[in-house]
Structure 1
């Protein structure tokens, strides 16, 4: 059964190490998602922040935040503005889930997107609060118990907070 493993990183540096270790463990950019608040002002979008990533202004801003190299290889880096919630930077499969949530769900915003990915609502609300405080949500799609254990080990080894798992929602 497909499962997602989640954790919270407290700093961009901690997130960078976790993302790079997940990549070294064999997870692909389609397996890993990251979500963080976009704390840059609109003025920052216009400035280049030392990056070689081809994703443009968003990736440049991410590099300025300290997670550029790790997020640079993830799929679909983008900035999301979720009405009533604020701006976020998302990468990986969570980008599509939150893109749908931004259009409007009963639960709303980040919580709606995470619930839509299969996370229990109470956990989604807890993660949402932590993201708003500046933490970084990292999730990993796993297809076996062994992959799930590897992801959890990477999170634990790097002192990540709020490590949990959830069965992924089935797409029909």
Structure 2
């Protein structure tokens, strides 16, 4: 490249400040990660006084109940009122056939918050005795007429009741259901045994 009038090539100067800025940013990220990993506390005392009340040293505690007992997660209170096993669900004309067997969990969802909430079956999980996790079968759930629990906005103070449908292998021993206010919440557990 020749931009000079004497015909000699022009040398571009390299700027060193972008590299210095990148180095400072990387160093800041490393310090932040190390501080979060170690808790930023240089005290070597193993006292559990720094652990928040709702969390145990192993992780957050999740509320657990049995059938007929209410549990809360976020702005929802859940009460499982029944569990049944079926080969198919829905009316005779729109029946859905299970690949294995359907576990149908009847649940009442109450909005205990101060804003409208949306309950979706995709945030709910059934667990078996071997800790295998099953997602709800939305198509089977919508085939049950009057199933109010799916995709219904729930205003504060209101509640809906409906059925969550899970397709599981025929020999599955259901253990518990994990109910969530949203996909980001910690959830509440209802023992189905």
Larger radius of gyration: 2
The answer to which structure, 1 or 2, has the higher relative contact order (CA under 8 A, 6+ apart) is 1
**Alignment TM-score, normalising by the size of structure 2:** 0.22
**Alignment TM-score, normalising by the size of structure 1:** 0.24
More strand per residue: 1 or 2? 2
More helix per residue: 1 or 2? 1
